[in-house]
A and B are shown apart, each in its own frame.
Chain A
């Protein structure tokens, strides 16, 4: 079951626009993640696919058929909600059976499908319990079992893990991923968590500011972000974005953050003013005396196998650098910051400028 969005638009009262011109294709069996900060319209988009919210303009297609006017139940999909939407007065078993009973399937069929679904999510022994007698992760699994039991080939999930603690989130992430692979579900998954998006998705749609920023595979989005927003949204710690100028004497030469750092490119710098994106692991930091230094340390965070160094360049720009192992910089210590080979370039509108050669820097 494939899903397509064609120029989908949504506004409320013909005024407040929440989504503009969203287009995407989701293939059968694909794990598709919609990610963006809160308020970007990602849940609205999911609800429009489900048929819970009417679309203002454009088309939603399921299996190449326009379903704009079909009610939710006719779209043959299931949805898992952030608060799980469990019926507190029913047992786990009855919760899973709810939709099947509503559709008046025969008793043995319901029995079989519910038992099978509970088995899939390892909840068989809890089937007689009420939702309030379950932990958060178990409740989440009941919601998953409901999706499994419905036999629909499309599953929509709206921030299903955000009510769980960090440990459980990692565990459930794997369970959802395994379930999706095992059942061959076409899964559209909404989250604000970039880690969830990166770890589970076949394709990611990044939404911000009512617009689709980029659609691509996780590695594509990380390595070739379409703009500064996408670059900043993915990767922890956040990417450093620094102002840069083409040198007036040599058009291969780039001065970054006033003239704190200088690099030479393999080709001419295409525009006079631009912004450079440097992942924290692409920054090198070394101890130096105050004459040679171009930055001072603010503080460091030791994470075990690596250390994050927060520093301020002489130009006043703040940077984050990830150094492997343990380094002991003190606050206000002068340091020398240099740049590795993988850089991203953005114009002043924040759009990425692609250069013809991948490795752009003379070390």
Chain B
């Protein structure tokens, strides 16, 4: 089963490359030689083993489990076909999770990209002391999820938190950052964006600095304002990077777990009960491994669909 893709991927490019000659030919002979094939498997072996144990087997096992009912230790008991999936997709609770995850992921991706772009655009200017800002803007890259969560929990704290103090000082109504369902979502989004920003900023800054300066010089001679240059030179020129960053942020958003666990535990009233957090609770709190498996596969399909859409829609607008 594993044999055919491996041999194909190694022989096809060589065999199809028939424009020359001795080198190619002797190399395809190499692959056809039975004894050398043995060597090939030795070299491929370790990675196939690791992928098999940690990727292929869990994936197949998940698919398998999702078609059964399981007992509390995760052993399959009764085959139920697609019942797990049907249950999930008709459950208001699950659909809520789906909805809040969408809101969260889309908001996080959009805000991260826009803020990253704004910061990178500032930091790409050659100004005195700009290095300090570049370091500060990218600093969150070195912060772990747990530290970020605790840090923001302090800020959001209803009695001693910074935001609460500011509200008091300005005589504004107090916001229950982590206790109000709407604001809890906002709080989680803010924290995630803050976490993502360092990486996004750094990648976008790198892309901006690789745009040839003569493009801007030519544009400024021809009368293009800085704003016009941003939208008509910078953004088109860094579009491959924007594309990359948006996909990474989106996928990371769907996979968000640690922050939710530390900040809201999916609450209040499931307002931040994201898909991955839900899988975790279903599997390891409720012991419902079958349903958790089905949820995992649905999540995989959702991420795949989003990635495909991004490729289809954005690829036309991306200039490589």
Q: Using a CB–CB distance below 8 Å, which chain A residues touch chain B?
A: 50-52, 71-73, 75, 77-79, 81, 83, 85, 87-90, 98-99, 102-103, 146, 150
By secondary structure, the B interface counts as: helix
Q: Chain B's nearest CB lies how many Å from the CB of A101?
A: 8
Q: Chain B's nearest CB lies how many Å from the CB of A27?
A: 22
Instruction: Check A87–B217 contact: CB distance below 8 A.
Output: no
A99→B220 CA distance, assembly (Å) = 9
Instruction: Check B221–A87 contact: CB distance below 8 A.
Output: no
30 contacts between A and B (CB under 8 A): A50-B217, A50-B221, A51-B221, A52-B221, A72-B220, A72-B221, A73-B223, A75-B221, A79-B218, A79-B221, A81-B217, A81-B218, A83-B212, A83-B214, A85-B217, A87-B236, A87-B237, A88-B319, A89-B237, A89-B239, A89-B319, A98-B219, A98-B222, A99-B219, A99-B222, A99-B223, A99-B224, A102-B222, A102-B224, A103-B223
Q: Which residue of A lies closest to B223 (CB)?
A: A73
- In the complex, besides A79-B221, A83-B214, A102-B232, 8 extra interface pairs with C-beta distance below 8 angstroms are A51-B221, A75-B221, A79-B218, A85-B215, A85-B217, A99-B219, A99-B223, A102-B225
- On chain B, the number of residues with a Cβ less than 8 Å from chain A's Cβ atoms is 19
Q: Which residue of A lies closest to B218 (CB)?
A: A85
Instruction: Check B232–A85 contact: CB distance below 8 A.
Output: no
Instruction: Check B217–A52 contact: CB distance below 8 A.
Output: yes
Q: Which residue of A lies closest to B318 (CB)?
A: A89
A146→B232 CA distance, assembly (Å) = 16
A79→B220 CA distance, assembly (Å) = 10
Is B233 engaged at the interface, CB distance under 8 Å to the other chain? Answer: yes
Is B228 engaged at the interface, CB distance under 8 Å to the other chain? Answer: yes
The answer, among A77, A83, A89, for a CB contact under 8 Å with B221, is A77
Q: Using a CB–CB distance below 8 Å, which chain B residues touch chain A?
A: 212, 214-215, 217-225, 228, 232-233, 236-237, 239, 319
Q: Which residues of A contact B236 (CB under 8 A)?
A: 87, 89-90
Q: Which residues of A contact B232 (CB under 8 A)?
A: 98, 102
A71, A73, A75 pick with most chain B CB within 10 angstroms? A73
Q: Chain A's nearest CB lies how many Å from the CB of B173?
A: 46
The answer, among B214, B223, B225, B237, for a CB contact under 8 Å with A85, is B214
A52→B213 CA distance, assembly (Å) = 11
A75→B319 CA distance, assembly (Å) = 32
Q: Which residues of A contact B219 (CB under 8 A)?
A: 98-99, 102
A89→B228 CA distance, assembly (Å) = 16
Instruction: Check B221–A78 contact: CB distance below 8 A.
Output: yes
Q: Which residue of B lies closest to A50 (CB)?
A: B221
Q: Would A103 and B212 be within 8 Å (CB), given that A79-B217, A88-B319 are in contact?
A: no
Q: Chain B's nearest CB lies how many Å from the CB of A81?
A: 5
Q: Which residues of B contact A103 (CB under 8 A)?
A: 222-224
Q: Chain A's nearest CB lies how many Å from the CB of B219?
A: 7
Q: Would A87 and B222 be within 8 Å (CB), given that A52-B217, A81-B217 are in contact?
A: no
Q: Which residues of A contact B222 (CB under 8 A)?
A: 73, 78, 98-99, 102-103, 146, 150
